[in-house]
Amino acid sequence: MAHLSLKNSLLIAGTEFDQSEKVNRLIADPANHCVVLYPGIHSKNISLAASTDLVEWFPQDKKLVIFVIDGTWPCAKRMILRSPNLLALPQICFTPNRQSEYQFRHQPHEHCLSTIEAVHHMIGILDPSPECDSLMDLFRKMVRRQVGYSVTGQVRRSKPC
């Protein structure tokens, strides 16, 4: 959904990216500054960063490339651990200012968001734009439709990957 909604995005499907030519080409390009949106213990929290920190963290003379791992929380963790090239990149995270609106799946913790919500929040911090709001509009429509399909009205647990 994010890829279809955001220009200049690239969808790279897979579960292990160490051997991905597309990923490795982006990382190797000296014109790029690559980071991963992932809440690791060494992640830099962009919510708490001063504008001077952001300038230091994201060089202005390079194109910012943000890898977003899309999957359930357990799958995303496995994906990054299986991809040493991504694991070696600087990681960024943020502090959510609200709970997830993802009504048809349980989040593992109160502060966890779906991928679309995380991308929306991240863009809102780094480069607010009206394009970003369309992500949440689309997400909310999807959630309403999924809830409407639910026979029991109960939230489903995620399946392991």
**Mean pLDDT across 49-59:** 87
* pLDDT at res. 8: 80
Q: pLDDT tens, 111-150?
A: 667 777 778 778 878 877 666 667 766 766 766 676 666 6
Strand 63-68, strand 32-37: pairing? parallel
Taking each continuous run of H as one helix and of E as one strand, the counts in the chain are 7, 4
**Mean pLDDT across 9-32:** 94
**Mean pLDDT across 65-75:** 87
Domain ranges of the chain: 2-148
**Mean pLDDT across 17-36:** 97
- What's this model's pTM, rounded to 2 decimal places? 0.77
Residues 6 or more apart whose Cβ sits within 8 Å of residue 102: 113, 114, 117, 143
Beta bridge partners of 64: 33
Beta bridge partners of 66: 35
